Structure 1
Amino acid sequence: MTRTALIVWGGWSGHDPDLCSSMIRGWLKAEGFDVRVETATSVFLDPAIRDYSLIVPIYTMSKIEKPEAAALCEAVAGGVGLAGHHGGMGDAFRDAVDYQFMCGGQWVAHPGGIIDYTVDITRPDDPLMQGIASFEHRSEQYYMHVDPANEVLATTTFTGEHAPWIDGVVMPVVWRKRYGKGRVFYSSLGHRAYELDVPEIRTIMTRGLLWAAR
């Protein structure tokens, strides 16, 4: 049986949602998925979403109507996988707390903007991280409010150079969790589309998509 995925992209253009959608669509199709792509959050009101294997939101800094958010949360709680990256999932709907509860975190800052930092793999023996070593990256280092229930797979440590009061703070970068019967995967990496082609980021993201999909 062919697995099905729904990608919903839009919102702030600075995160290249159209390009990210195209790239992730290609990855999923290469894994045998039948992929539907939409650009409006109203698609979450379609009862058919409950039958998908995976939903991928790529929708930074936008608003979602309460019935749309409720329908999305209900679908994931019912077993549909949810996976995404950076602001496309982790800063999608700032006023939708139920959505944030499901995702396991919400972006709040990236001190210093584009900077050099280290991504530390904390679960190297986990299948999602196997063969990936800690690596240096230049991008936005996401500071997030996160759910303590997340299963954290990678972290980053803030130096305090751009915000002295967070010196030494260890912040989750990649996590997975359960939401009802659904699997949820998130990576804060991938500020711009080209970053998704960094080998470590692409491998982590692809594995995360496949893990989340039922």
Structure 2
Amino acid sequence: MSKSALIVWGGWDGHTPEQSAQLVSGMLESHGFAVTLENTTEAFADDGLSQFDLIVPVITMSRIEREELTNLLAAVRGGTGLAGFHGLMCDSFRNEPDYQFMTGGQWVAHPGNIIDYTVNVTRGDDPIMAGIGDFPYRSEQYYMHFDPSVEVLATTTFSGEQFEEIDGVVMPVVWKRRFGKGRVFYSSLGHVVGEFEVPQMRTIFERGALWAAR
């Protein structure tokens, strides 16, 4: 029996949500998933939400109704996996701390906007990161408020070029966690769909999504 995934896209167009959702859909289908694509948070209110093995939000700076969020939280607590990237999962609903508690973090800044930085793999022994070493990356370097209970798989270190007070700050880039019976995976890489052309970025998200799925 094939696994099922729900991808819900929307919000700010600058993050290429529709294109990124289509790419992730194809990625999951290549692993045998039956994928449902929706472009409204109303999908989170569906009675059958908990039947999905994986949910991938691809939404930025949007809003979610209380009924939708309550249903989403219950689905993940019950065992549905959650996987996402960049602001398309961890800057989806700024007004919803319950959502941020589930995802494990929330974007707050990207000093310098698009810059060159390094991703440092901290858990090379984890299957999601296997065979991947430190690598250079060009994108927004996400500064996040994050839950200290998350299991960090990769980090980045900020310079003081933009704000001297964050010089040397080590920030998680990739993490995973449990939320009830559900698995949650996050990578801060993936500002636009073109970043999936970076092999390490794509591999990390692909493995993370497969890990998160029920």
Residue aligning to 1:99:
99
Residue aligning to 2:160:
160
Runs of 4+ in structure 1 off by over 3 angstroms are: none
Identity of aligned residues (%): 61
Kept in 2, the 8 Å contact 1:66–1:96? The answer is: no
Alignment of 1:166-181 (within 5 A): 166-181=166-181
Aligned residue identity for 1:147: D
Q: Which runs of 5+ in 1 are unaligned?
A: none
State TM-score, norm by structure 2: 0.99
1:128 match: secondary structure: helix
Alignment of 1:63-212 (within 5 A): 63-212=63-212
Kept in 2, the 8 Å contact 1:60–1:92? The answer is: yes
Deviation track 1:124-178 (CA, whole Å, cap 9, x = no partner) reads 1110000001000111000000000000000000011011100000000000000
Superposition RMSD on alpha carbons, in Å? 0.5
Alignment of 1:44-55 (within 5 A): 44-55=44-55
Kept in 2, the 8 Å contact 1:56–1:82? The answer is: yes
State TM-score, norm by structure 1: 0.99
Q: What is the deviation of 1:196?
A: 1.3
Residue aligning to 1:10:
10
Tell me, in whole angstroms, the C-alpha distance in 1 between the residues paired with 2:49 and 2:97: 21
Tell me, in whole angstroms, the C-alpha distance in 2 between the residues paired with 1:154 and 1:63: 29
Kept in 2, the 8 Å contact 1:118–1:134? The answer is: yes
2:2 match: secondary structure: coil
Q: Which runs of 5+ in 2 are unaligned?
A: none
Tell me, in whole angstroms, the C-alpha distance in 2 between the residues paired with 1:26 and 1:67: 29
Aligned length: 214
Q: What is the deviation of 1:72?
A: 0.4
Tell me, in whole angstroms, the C-alpha distance in 2 between the residues paired with 1:197 and 1:92: 23
Tell me, in whole angstroms, the C-alpha distance in 2 between the residues paired with 1:159 and 1:23: 32
Aligned residue identity for 1:167: D
Kept in 2, the 8 Å contact 1:153–1:174? The answer is: yes
